[in-house]
Structure formats: C-alpha cells, structure tokens
C-alpha cells in the first residue's frame, strides 16, 4: 500500500513539473520583435515600479498576440556604449507585423497604457523584422 502511495505521489510530482515546464517554454519567434524603452518621471519610486510591473505582467498574460516577452531593467553601465538611462525595457515577439498591429489595438494593451501612462515621461519603440537564417 505504501509503495502505491509513493508511486502515485511521484507520478503527480513529475506530471505537475512537466506541465509547469511546458507552460514556461515559449519559443522566441524571430519574425517580428517589438522593443520598448520606458523612462519614468520618478524612476526611484517603488510604488510606481510595483504598479507598472503588475499592470505590464497582467497585460502580457492577457495578450492574444504577444508570443514571447522579456521585461528588464538596466544594469549598471560599465562601458560608454551602454545606455542605462531607461527605467524599464520590454521585448515582445510576434509571428508577424500584422499580429503586432493587432496587439496595438487590443483591449489588454489599451488598459495597460491607460493604467500606466502617467508614470512615464518618455517611451521609445524599436520594431524589427528578423533576417532569414
């Protein structure tokens, strides 16, 4: 009886672990990358950062078009060519330029902008197509 319980527990742990790994394994889509840099009005305000991160994560979770994403903050720049003046960076990939256009108008994106637009003083976007291998 104890052996059956142990086997069932192990199967449950392994299947849960595999399901979590699968959910987190999104493949970077090289078709179209959307890179956004945000400069906050108050870059050291922890409440602003908490609000921004929560809204951004909610938006990306609910986006119908964003395939993969990366949210970052600048490291301490140690070389002259590194611009560490921004507060946050965001890289989102899409299967096409059309998907990125649809993302711009989707409700989740518009809600994020409305919730956070008062936090930033500057936003710069760089969009790019992937080059063929």
Distance CA 110, CA 15 (A): 37
In the block, tokens 């050291």 appear at 44
In the block, tokens 């908490």 appear at 50
In the block, tokens 């970077």 appear at 28
3-state helix, strand, coil in the chain (%, to 5): 45, 25, 30
Q: Torsions phi, psi of 89, nearest 5?
A: -125, 155
Span 66-81, pLDDT tens digits = 999 999 999 988 898 9
Q: Is the pLDDT of residue 119 over 90?
A: yes
The pLDDT-based confidence of 26 (bands split at 50, 70, 90) is: low
Q: What is the pTM of this model?
A: 0.77
Residue 16's CB is within 10 A of a number of other CB atoms, namely 10
- Closest to 74 (Cα-Cα) out of 65, 56, 92, 86: 86
Contact 39, 121 (CB under 8 A): yes
Residue ranges covered by each domain of the chain:
27-129
Q: Which one of 3.40.50.1380, 3.30.70.100, 1.10.10.10, 3.30.379.10 gives the CATH number of domain 27-129?
A: 3.30.70.100
Mean pLDDT (whole number) for 43-69:
96
Mean pLDDT (whole number) for 7-36:
55
pLDDT at 6: 36
Mean pLDDT (whole number) for 29-45:
93
- Residue 133 DSSP class: -
Distance CA 119, CA 41 (A): 6
């Amino acid at each position: 009886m104890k052996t059956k319980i142990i086997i069932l527990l192990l199967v449950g742990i392994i299947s849960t672990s595999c399901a979590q790994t699968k959910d987190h394994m999104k493949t970077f889509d090289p078709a179209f990358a959307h890179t956004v840099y945000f400069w906050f009005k108050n870059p050291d305000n922890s409440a602003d950062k908490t609000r921004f991160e929560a809204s951004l994560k909610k938006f990306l979770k609910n986006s119908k078009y964003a395939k993969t994403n990366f949210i970052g903050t600048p490291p301490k720049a140690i070389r002259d060519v590194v611009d560490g003046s921004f507060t946050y960076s965001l890289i989102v990939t899409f299967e096409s330029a059309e998907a990125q256009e649809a993302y711009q108008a989707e409700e989740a994106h518009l809600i994020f902008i409305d919730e956070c637009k008062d936090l930033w003083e500057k936003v710069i976007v760089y969009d790019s197509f992937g080059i063929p291998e």
